[in-house]
Structure 1
Amino acid sequence: MQTDPRFSLVFAKKKKEFAVPAPLAPIADTHAHLMSFWDKDPAEAIARSALAGVRQMTTIWDPLADHRDAATYHEQLVGWIDQARDLLDQALAAGVAPLEPAGELIGPCADAWDSNPRALLSRISFLAGVHPYGAPEYTDDVHAQVLEALDSPLCSGVGEIGLDYHFDAEDNIEAAPHQMQMDVMARQLSLAVERNLPVELHLRHEADDVERSSHLDAYNVLKRVGVPAAGCVLHCFGEDRATMERFCDLGCHIAFGGAATFKRNDEVREAFAACPLDLLLFETDCPYMAPEPIRGLECEPAMIPWTVEALTGYRSSVTGEDPAQIAYAVWRNSLKLFGRQN
């Protein structure tokens, strides 16, 4: 019997089919853009991720980019969660088997595993913030909208905020003046510090920028404004070990996504292998950057087990740590930051 495509964990690329690997431990997707899908339904994506072993998810709301207020987004997210619950009920009633860890879990890792995919639905939250693309439009009114969103019971932090010095040729987006971006980042970072909430940073510069100026400037903003006691995350990390270590010295977490599995990104994998275990996170940044071997497809949270498998396997080959224990440690980090029970 063929699986209903809404619940399928097999993805096709160039006439080949790839089955999502079994999770090593509960998985958290700490950065997912559920409103940015091109061809996917958000509720179905949530349901598939639950079947794939995702047990916590953090998504993003931006009052400028998403063109809706926080209350409307809250209602929309609640609606997707309710629809995902109905979909999971249908899937389980039809005999769809959720993925289970391939090996025997032991100790705390075994205790943490919940075989009921519905467990994800109580651990979905969102971050509120304005992406650096929106810096020129960041007014007092927009700031008030972000501040109001932080009171939502589904809001778990501030983000994604930061600095983007890259010219986006595809969408013809020029980088806003750097000082303007730093001022807007500092203003939103202050909210996280004052509210004791975690913050996620988007930092990007041109590939030939040897000074890594977005990271250099962000480091200085963090030193001046402060790192929230609740945590700071460098999302979608794509830099080298030295850059990772500099931010880890500030206590920042480092989140790795599908791009870290790309063949050319040896430096990024080296940073993952060297990062302190208690500061590691996984994410998809969906719908962007699906991991190998399905790179090029529209990414979704159900694809994150490939990233976990590739990166824990690489780190294990370098450090000798058990891949499942690495995955479990990352799960604990994610829960500490974003595991609010709804």
Structure 2
Amino acid sequence: MIIDSHCHLNILPEDKVGTVDAVLEKARELGVEKVLCVAINPAQWEDVLRLADQYESVYAAIGIHPCEERNVVVTDEALIKAASHPKVIAIGEVGLDYFHFEEDAAIEGGMDWQHERFKQHIRIAKQLDKPLIIHTRNSTPDCLTILETEGAAKVGGIMHCFVEDMQTANRAMEIGFYISFSGIVTFKNAKDLKTVATDIPLDRVLVETDSPYLAPMPFRGKTNQPGYTRYVVEEIAKLKGVSFEAVAEATTHNFNRLFKLD
């Protein structure tokens, strides 16, 4: 069995990949039995929770993506209420993203609003004892420092769509985070990332699609979907010189261990 540890099932374009029923059926045919559907803003929470209610194989994550504008805020109470749903197993995706806010990031204190929203999510994750799904872009040192100082090690989580170096991976793993690889690791030019994927212990690895984005080879440039997690598993198995089954089993066990689903 394979688990897609990060997808956006709620926004998959039906004209490209079919209905949710069809997407999940194709995923099963490819060995992907469960998915974690991740919301990026409060407007998506209801849809993500509905999918989790409707499909046994779908779990949910609730949060506000760092690329959402600064006026997208919620009270602790609203976040706690949504995240207390029994199928919500994670808080996310959350984190820091300076790439899309270059002008703010160039000013001292200009990203304080992202930091505060991130800290809010860490606080609620600790209160609810639910792991975090982390997005970081052009902000990794600050992101890791906040995770460390805010005590995120209490709940751990996932470094989603990991593209950083081994030093960063080690720092994240030291505070209880798993490293999740997406279709990017299958790209021919992702040589440095392939090296990281080779070196990270298999008991700290997760796999994901981030669908509808980042389709793996041989589907690069097309609409991604949860079933394509299989190709990420195949690539990691090849890089590590182990069987497909070993990677599928290990990443499934890692997911279940992190989210206490065993």
TM-score with structure 1 length normalisation? 0.69
Q: For 1:177-235, what per-residue CA distance to the aligned partner results, in whole angstroms no more than 9, with x for missing partners?
A: 42221111111011112221111100012xxxxxxxx1100111011111243421100
Aligned pairs for 1:125-164 within 5 A:
125-134=59-68, 136-141=70-75, 143-164=76-97
Corresponding residue for 1:124?
58
Aligned pairs for 1:50-69 within 5 A:
50-64=28-42, 67-69=43-45
Any unmatched runs of 5+ in structure 1?
Answer: 1-25, 82-121, 206-213
Change (3 A) 1:280 1:68: closer
Any unmatched runs of 5+ in structure 2?
Answer: none
1:283 to 205, 208, 225: 208
2:114 to 178, 181, 191: 181
Change (3 A) 1:340 1:250: closer
Q: Is 1:332 aligned with 2:253? A: yes
Separation (CA, whole Å) in 2 of partners of 1:75 and 1:218:
31
Change (3 A) 1:323 1:50: closer
AA partner of residue 325 (structure 1): A
- 1:323, CA displacement in angstroms? 4.2
Separation (CA, whole Å) in 2 of partners of 1:136 and 1:74:
24
- 1:337, CA displacement in angstroms? 2.4
- 1:69, CA displacement in angstroms? 5.0
Aligned pairs for 1:96-111 within 5 A:
none
Deviates more, 1:290-299 or 1:143-152: 143-152
Separation (CA, whole Å) in 2 of partners of 1:293 and 1:338:
31
Corresponding residue for 1:193?
126
AA partner of residue 328 (structure 1): E
- Decide whether the 8 Å contact of 1:255 with 1:283 is kept in 2: yes
- 1:335, CA displacement in angstroms? 1.5
Q: Is 1:47 aligned with 2:22? A: no
- Decide whether the 8 Å contact of 2:216 with 2:232 is kept in 1: yes
- Decide whether the 8 Å contact of 2:7 with 2:210 is kept in 1: yes
Q: For 1:280-339, what per-residue CA distance to the aligned partner results, in whole angstroms no more than 9, with x for missing partners?
A: 1000000001001111110001111111101211111xxxx4443233111100112247
AA partner of residue 28 (structure 1): I
Corresponding residue for 1:247?
172
2:12 to 6, 30, 37: 37
Separation (CA, whole Å) in 1 of partners of 2:90 and 2:194:
27
- Decide whether the 8 Å contact of 1:32 with 1:301 is kept in 2: yes
Q: For 1:144-165, what per-residue CA distance to the aligned partner results, in whole angstroms no more than 9, with x for missing partners?
A: 3221111112111101000111
- Decide whether the 8 Å contact of 1:254 with 1:279 is kept in 2: yes
* SS of aligned partner of 2:34: strand
- Decide whether the 8 Å contact of 1:244 with 1:254 is kept in 2: yes
Larger Rg: 1
AA partner of residue 336 (structure 1): R
- Decide whether the 8 Å contact of 1:36 with 1:287 is kept in 2: yes
Corresponding residue for 2:217?
292
- 1:125, CA displacement in angstroms? 0.6
1:314 to 239, 244, 257: 239
* SS of aligned partner of 1:30: strand
Residue-pair matches, total: 255
TM-score with structure 2 length normalisation? 0.89
